[in-house]
Amino acid sequence: MSDSQSIRRTLELTIPAPEVEEETERVVESIRKRVQLPGFRPGKVPAGIVRRRYQEEIRHDVLERLIPKYLFKRTEEEGLNVVGTPNVTDVHFSPGEPLRFKAEFEVAPEIELKQYKDLPVPYQDPEVSEADIDQRIEELREQKAEYVNVDPRPIAAGDHAVVALESVSGITGPPIKQDELTLHIGGEDTLPGFSEALTGLSPGDEKEFDVTYPEDYAQPRLAGKTVRFRARVKGIRRKELPEVNDEFARDLGDYQNLDELREAVRKAIFAERQYVAQEEAKNKLVDALVDAHDFPVPEAYIERQIEAQVERRLQLLAAEGVDPRSIKLDWQKLKESQRDKAVREVKASLLLHKIADTEDIHATQDEVDREVQRLARQTREPVAAVRMRLEKEGALGRIAARIRTEKTLSFLFDHARKTAE
Q: Is residue 256 part of a domain?
A: no
Domain identity same for 301 and 413: yes
Q: DSSP 3-state assignment of 214?
A: coil
What range defines the domain where residue 64 resides?
A: 3-107
Q: Which pLDDT does position 335 carry in this prediction?
A: 77
Here the CATH number for the domain that contains residue 329 is: 1.10.3120.10
Q: Which residues face 237 on adjacent strands? A: 149, 160
Last residue of a domain, one of 220, 240, 260: 240
Give 311 or 417, the one with higher predicted confidence: 417
Q: Is residue 112 part of a domain?
A: no
Q: Is residue 127 part of a domain?
A: no
Query: At 1, is the pLDDT very low, low, confident or very high (cuts 50, 70, 90)?
Result: very low
Q: Which pLDDT does position 52 carry in this prediction?
A: 85
Percent of the chain with pLDDT over 70: 97
Q: Which pLDDT does position 16 carry in this prediction?
A: 95
Q: Per residue in 350-391, pLDDT tens?
A: 999 999 999 999 999 999 999 999 999 999 999 999 999 999
Q: Per residue in 40-71, pLDDT tens?
A: 777 777 888 888 888 899 999 999 999 999 99
Rounded to 5 degrees, what are φ and ψ at 400? -60, -40
d(CA 381, CA 396): 17
Is residue 161 over pLDDT 60? yes
Domain identity same for 274 and 409: yes
Q: Which pLDDT does position 101 carry in this prediction?
A: 96
Domain identity same for 296 and 409: yes
Q: Is residue 87 part of a domain?
A: yes
Give 16 or 36, the one with higher predicted confidence: 16
Q: Mean pLDDT score of the chain, rounded to an integer?
A: 91
Q: Is residue 113 part of a domain?
A: no
d(CA 88, CA 63): 11
Asked whether 222 and 206 are in contact (CB, 8 A), the reply is no
Could you tell me which of 107, 132, 96, 98 has the C-alpha nearest to residue 11? Answer: 107
Amino acid (1-letter code) at residue 388: M
Number of domains in the chain: 3
Domain identity same for 236 and 340: no
Here the CATH number for the domain that contains residue 81 is: 3.30.70.1050
The full DSSP string for 248-279 is HHHHHSS-SSHHHHHHHHHHHHHHHHHHHHHH
Least confident of 102-106, 132-136, 166-170, 316-320: 316-320
Is residue 320 over pLDDT 80? no
Q: Per residue in 76-133, pLDDT tens?
A: 999 999 998 899 999 999 888 999 999 999 999 999 999 999 999 999 999 999 999 9
Domain identity same for 275 and 385: yes
Length of the chain: 421
Here the CATH number for the domain that contains residue 225 is: 3.10.50.40
* pLDDT, mean of residues 155-173: 93
Work out whether strand 226-240 and strand 206-212 pair parallel, antiparallel, or are unpaired.
Answer: antiparallel
Q: Is residue 247 part of a domain?
A: no
Domain identity same for 209 and 299: no
Q: Is residue 251 part of a domain?
A: no
Q: Which pLDDT does position 156 carry in this prediction?
A: 95
Domain identity same for 209 and 298: no
Asked whether 191 and 213 are in contact (CB, 8 A), the reply is yes
Query: At 2, is the pLDDT very low, low, confident or very high (cuts 50, 70, 90)?
Result: very low
